[in-house]
Amino acid sequence: MREINLLKYNRHWEKGFKYPYPKKRKIFSKLTDLLFTRQIIQIVGLRRVGKTTLFFQLINHLIEKKIDPFLIWYFTFDEEKLPLDELFWNFSKQTQKDFKKEKIFVFLDEIQKLPNFQNQLKIYYDLYPNLKFFISGSTSLFIKKRSQESLAGRVKEFFLPPLDFEEYLYFKDKKEILKKKKLFESEIEKEFEIFLESQFIESIEMKREEKREYYLSIIKKIIFEDLSQIFPVDYPEVLFSLVKIISQRPGMLLDYQTLSQKMNISHKTLSNYLFFLQESFLLKKIYNFSKSLLVSERKLKKFYLASPSFSWALSDFLKKEFLVENFLLSIKNFNFFWRDPYQHEIDFVALQNGEIIPIEVKYKKEITRKDLKNLVLFLKKFKLKKGILYGKFLDSKKEKINQFEIFLKPIYFV
């Protein structure tokens, strides 16, 4: 067995040490409710959204609950790909704790980098029910798919998106302006537009040019390091070009045939590269809605970057409306838009508990009947009653058009 120094990964073993992350994401309370359940807790999401910080905050929480720090084990596979057998041997030796008998909390970061992680994890989960696992990853395919194949029923998954607006204000110490929305209306609007460029915690206090460099470094690390370790990427610069193209118009419709010809790559390579970018959480693809999933799959697709901050960083002149649309998709799990042969279009179509809900984004304060036209058209076509329009409002209200109800909601509080 190979020995490694685990203290450098487990600062909480030092007497009196506490990880310096007092401010918590909204998801934190959901995770603390599951600390003592049997299931593996799986957190997936983009690089730099805060998965590791969440782990350290959970470790702090466990220690505050009087759990022995040496019963809490943390390791990241970012540097070393140590098999679980070797890792557990090292942990047992260095902590003098017996994982076969004692209740151990095990945090495994960037687990997709460990070959065959799912089968290794399954063995320990099944044989040692006293182990409580928390795993994280930045690549959808190697976490979600493999977990579903080998760890079915054993995993509870959480997706950690970039910040929403309320979280941004909280981390900026400005959440109090939401308590008196009318009084601070202009400041809310101003902060929201700054937020579109600052959807990651580390970027909040940066200057604009620093932010651009920061986002560019994340994108390049994903493309030139992460993806090339997992997928057969012969031309990473083509991946980067695709990201830049989509950043120029979030929500653009892509014709694979035309784009592959322009980029001088095969249709198959383009399709594969777009898939790789989706699996890294860097790109989101949504389908033209139809009640037949097969028809939806065959139609043109829309693509967005995972955050409006990425789109902003790569684009010199991008309308605020596009960034706002990109923001909504960054924190909502929409899989569809709608566009008919006559160019009538709906930004997003949500499926909630079997209900179909069309959603429009209009970054303006005054809404006219013309702004609602496509929503009404969609509701008529699919025999529905309810639609949603997000705009530059402070409070929710409702418009009634014939038998249809259009809910006008603030884009700030989605």
Contact 392, 363 (CB under 8 A): yes
The pLDDT score that the predictor gives to residue 148 is 55
The pLDDT value given to residue 85: 96
Q: How far apart are CA 58 and CA 60, in angstroms?
A: 5
Name, in order, each residue with C-beta under 8 angstroms of 379's C-beta and a sequence gap of 6 or more: 358, 385, 386, 387, 404
219, 310 contact by CB (below 8 A)? yes
Residue type, 306: A
Output the pLDDT for position 147: 53
Euclidean distance between CA atoms 137 and 142, whole angstroms? 8
Residues in the chain predicted with pLDDT less than 70, given as ranges, are 139-150, 293-298
Residues in the chain: 414
pLDDT, position 249: 94
Which amino acid does the sequence have at 393? F
Over the stretch 276-289, which tens digit does the pLDDT of each residue have?
Answer: 999 889 999 999 99
φ, ψ of residue 43 in degrees (nearest 5): -120, 120
Residue 87, classed as helix, strand or coil, is helix
pTM for this entry? 0.92
Closest to 214 (Cα-Cα) out of 281, 314, 76, 328: 314
Residue 141 pLDDT: 47
- Per the listing, tokens 């079915």 go with 152
Q: Are 111 and 85 in contact (CB under 8 A)?
A: no
**Locus of tokens 């320990």:** 124
For position 1, what pLDDT does the model report? 81
Hunting for tokens 């970012």 — which residue is that? 78
